[in-house]
Amino acid sequence: MNDAATTPILEVRHLVKHFDRPRGLFRRVAPPLRAVDDVSFDIKAGEALGLVGESGCGKSTTGRAILRLIEPTSGEIRFQGEDVTGLDAAALRRLRRDMQIVFQDPYGSLDPKMTVRRLIAEPLRIHRIGSAAERRRRVSELLDLVGLTEEHGDRHPHEFSGGQRQRVGIARALALEPKLLVLDEPVSALDISIQAQILNLLIDLRDRLGIAFLFISHDLAVVRYVCERVVVMYLGVIVEIGDRAAIFDRPAHPYTQALLSSVPNPDPASRGQSRRIVLEGDQPSAANPPSGCRFRTRCWKATSRCSEETPPLRRLADGHLAACHYAEV
Amino acid sequence: MTTPAPLLSVRDLTVEFRRDRSWLRALHGVSFDVFEGETVGVVGESGSGKSVTVQSLMGLLPARSSRLAAGSAVFAGRDILRLPRRELRRIRGKDIAMVFQDPMSSLNPVFTVGYQIAEAIREHNPGLSRETLRERTLAVLSRVELPHPAQAFSTFPFQFSGGMRQRAMIAMAIANAPRLLIADEPTTALDVTIQAQVMQVLQQARGTGSAMLLITHDMGLVAEATDRVIVMYAGRVIETGTTAEVFAAPRHPYTRGLLASRPKLAAAGGRLTPIPGSPPNIASLPGGCAFHPRCALHERHRDPICVDTVPALLPREGAGLVACHLTHLLGSAQREMETT
């Protein structure tokens, strides 16, 4: 590993995002929704980091706050050493050349009136990169890179299938040669046979271009396939961080264990052989999270200590951290 | 050994939708059986016809823009596709019940959960006293493990979380102990930990007496919850069999492709082998076998029969059926692929 691979390209420190909620009917002040509550992690250059958790855990909010598509309430986000939380509009535009996002829904993020060629060229035009001829060449390159043909370039997004539209979304995000790509559930809306195409494309692109990924997903099998390191979130906080093997083979936090055991096993031959942890109850509200450990209301290991003391993210092994009083490896 | 008569026997189900001035065929002669007490999975991607199949069985297709071109669906001796509305209503909710992806599509937002379940019971058991109705409703609510049945009774659907709502809908579906439960993507909208809860409830609460038709795109769920599986593509059944056999040795290239497309959680296996292209639009289906433009086997052998002739569903090794002209070549092709 060279130096670049060990220096973080992105450092997130104590990121907090609270959403104010409308007042209640009788002017009670509703407590803010603590969507992301003190989250810290790094992404190394060229690394694929997975951010997993269930709906409402704060994973998408974290991704958007990093790009400043929403303003963080507090905390620090350093991209290549520079704090981006205080940047003005012009500086932010420069930053977005290096940090791009791909959304789940390729339909919603593409202007239906534009041809695919124009859609892909748009970021280049906005950032005034290259002459018209150079931009045309670059668009052709990008089409080829994501597995589309020149002929595809002259069509409109509505003529495309979901998988092809996601390819257009990816080509657009890559137009400015970003160093970090935030992928927010990039394959969740696609048919299974198409998911595999897009996943392989993403893996190839990362190998060829050396881009870092923040890969946000609720699909653990997909995260295992794409990411070498994983952050697990629950109700606005990180409960576990580790490399692929640590998280999937030696999960230490009870929530990670339950999450993994909940995934249906696609091999009927081994049906009933592994013990499934079925969690009790629902995720509590992020407006009024449980005291101490936020997972304790659904945890089979919880003791009185868990309601009194918030467990810190504790190092269990090299690069493997979990926020549980009783986690061990 | 004699085979018992199937509980539901679907034959040659053919359904068309109106688009502009013409009729587009969404189902091309779908046939399958469901036997007493078993769980059958129906899998397929968008446009495969799995949802249209369910909607036609339940009489839920839009009357003006769709039509039944051919086929029958015999349930307990009667063709439910041709029953008068009133008789269909008598069967629906009693002998056949449904669980949908979105619980709000079958729960009425302005009535309490208890009232709706009690109504569902009363509709098929007129003359029950108020007390008996309430007792039965509470019993059903506790069977789906809603934490406080008495409290849940007087709760409105919107006051529940997604998982709780799904339980309330399951309670309503099993209230009259149906002989067939049709579950259309019952856990797709739920988080994975809640999905595990709901599937457990669905399996336990319906008991051993009733059969279930589980429509899903999730191969993991099929592997875990079903005895037999029906794979659909472009409006046709292309493979059936016991779940164990189909997963261990799929005989249709599409089934094999689907299984190879999903990353595995258990092991960090090799690279995924995607199926090229996308599922076809029903307005412009490829000729012959609708899968041939995406098929690795066809790509390799270029047999004109795949382009010219729709393959018939024929017995495969084991207990199932497969619709592929080249299925006999599939084993060797796989070995070739692995050695190259």
A and B: number of Cβ contacts within 8 A: 132
> Does A51 contact chain B (CB < 8 Å)?
no
Which chain B residues in 99-128 lie under 8 Å from chain A, judged by CB atoms?
none
Residue of chain B minimizing CA distance to A204: B271
pLDDT at position A2 is 45
- A232 closest CA partner among A202, A197, A260: A260
Q: What angle do CA A301, A306, A310 make, to 5 degrees?
A: 135
The DSSP code for A63 is H
Lowest mean pLDDT among A237-241, B269-273, B280-284: B269-273
Q: Assess whether pLDDT exceeds 70 at residue A275.
A: yes
Could you tell me which of B248, B42, B277, B294 has the C-alpha nearest to residue A191? B277
Average pLDDT over residues B15-40: 94
Burial classification of residue A54, based on how many CB atoms lie within 10 Å of its CB (0-12 exposed, 13-18 middle, 19 or more buried): buried
Which of A148, A191, A206 is the mutation pick for testing B, counting most B CBs within 10 A?
A: A191
Q: A264, B264: Cβ pair inside 8 Å? A: no
| Contact across the interface for A266 and B263, Cβ inside 8 Å | no
With a cut of 70, say whether residue B69 has pLDDT above it: yes
Residue A3 pLDDT greater than 90, yes or no:
no
Average pLDDT over residues A11-18: 96
Average pLDDT score over residue span B21-26: 93
Whether A262 and B196 lie within 8 Å, measured CB to CB:
yes
Chain B hits for A191, Cβ within 8 Å: 45-46, 217, 278-279
Nearest CB neighbour to A193, from listed B196, B220, B274 = B274
In the block, which residue shows the tokens 């709901």? B198
Tokens of A232: 């697990």
Distance separating alpha carbons of residues B167 and B201, to the nearest angstrom: 8
Contact assignment for A193 to B223 by CB distance below 8 Å: no
Whether the predicted pLDDT of A53 surpasses 50: yes
pLDDT per residue as tens digits for the range B210-224: 899 999 999 999 999
What per-residue confidence (pLDDT) applies to B2?
59
Dihedral sign, Cα of residue A60, residue A63, residue A69, residue A70 = positive
pLDDT tier at A23, thresholds 50, 70, 90: low
CATH of B8-226, one of 3.10.180.10, 2.60.120.280, 3.40.50.300, 3.40.50.150: 3.40.50.300
Instruction: Write down the pLDDT at residue B335.
Output: 46
Residue A13 has pLDDT above 50, yes or no: yes
Burial tier of A207 (Cβ tally within 10 Å: 0-12, 13-18, 19+): exposed
In this predicted model, what pLDDT tens digit does every residue of B109-167 receive, in sequence order? Answer: 999 999 999 999 999 999 999 999 999 999 999 989 888 899 999 999 988 888 889 99
- Residues A294 and A310: their CA atoms lie apart, in Å, by 8
Specify the domain boundaries for CATH 3.40.50.300 within chain B: 8-226
**Distance between CA atoms of B322 and B219, rounded to whole angstroms?**
18
pLDDT of amino acid A223: 96
- Residue numbers in B near A276 (CB within 8 A): 196
Cβ-based contacts of B193 with chain A (< 8 Å): 54, 258-259, 262, 278-279
CB contacts, 8 Å: B191 with chain A: 54-55, 218, 283
Q: Each residue of A172-195: pLDDT tens digit?
A: 999 999 999 999 999 988 898 899
Which of A112-126, A270-284, B306-320 comes out lowest in average pLDDT? A270-284
Tokens of B97: 């019940």
ipTM of the complex: 0.86
CA dihedral A65, A66, A68, A72 (to 10 degrees): 40
As a whole number of angstroms, the distance between CA A222 and CA A231 comes to 14
Among candidates A197, A248, A278 on the partner chain, residue whose Cβ is nearest the Cβ of B274: A197
Of A220, A266, A282, which is closest to B223 when you measure between CB atoms? A266
- Give the pLDDT score at B99: 92
- What integer is the mean pLDDT of A192-216? 94
The predicted pLDDT at position B333 comes to 43
Tens-digit pLDDT profile for residues A137-180: 999 999 999 999 999 999 998 888 888 999 999 999 999 999 99
Q: Which residues in chain A are closer than 8 Å to B198, comparing Cβ atoms?
A: none
Give the B window 213-232 contacts with A, CB below 8 Å: 217-221, 223-225
* Cα dihedral: A138, A142, A143, A146 (round 10): 170
Asked whether the beta carbons of residue B192 and residue A263 sit closer than 8 angstroms, the reply is yes
Q: So what's the pLDDT on residue A272? A: 74
Residue B30 CB contacts under 8 Å (≥ 6 apart), including other chains: B10, B12, B13, B14, B49, B53, B71, B232, B235, B236, B237
Residue in A200, A266, A269 nearest the CB of B244:
A269
- pLDDT at position B336 is 43
Q: Is A193 on the interface with B (CB under 8 A)?
A: yes
Predicted pLDDT of residue B338: 45
Q: Quick check: B192 and A262 CB within 8 A?
A: yes
pLDDT exceeds 80 at position B31:
yes
The answer, for B46 touching chain A at a CB cutoff of 8 Å, is yes
Task: Using CA coordinates, name the residue in chain A closest to B148.
Answer: A281
User: Cβ contacts (< 8 Å) between B244 and chain A: which residues?
Assistant: 268-269
Sheet-wide strand order for B39-43: B96-99, B180-184, B211-216, B39-43, B228-233, B236-242, B321-322, B314-315
- Picking from B39, B51, B188, B193 by the largest number of A CB atoms within 10 A of its own CB, the best residue to mutate is B193
Answer whether residue B28 shows pLDDT above 70: yes
SS3 sequence of chain B? CCCCCCCEEEEEEEEEEEECCEEEEEEEEEEEEECCCCEEEEECCCCCCHHHHHHHHCCCCCCCCEEEEEEEEEECCEEHHHCCHHHHHHHECCCEEEECCCHHHCCCCCCCHHHHHHHHHHHHCCCCCHHHHHHHHHHHHHHCCCCCHHHHHCCCHHHCCHHHHHHHHHHHHHCCCCCEEEEECCCCCCCHHHHHHHHHHHHHHCCCCCEEEEEECCHHHHHHHCCEEEEEECCEEEEEEEHHHHHHCCCCHHHHHHHHHCCCCCCCCCCCCCCCCCCCCHHHCCCCCCCHHHCHHHHHHCCCHHHHCCCCCEECCCCCEECCCCHHHHHHHHHHHHHC
- Within an 8 Å CB–CB cutoff, is residue A224 touching chain B? yes
The answer to whether residue B334 scores a pLDDT higher than 60 is no
Residues B259-270 pLDDT 10s: 999 898 877 667
What's the confidence (pLDDT) of residue A239? 98
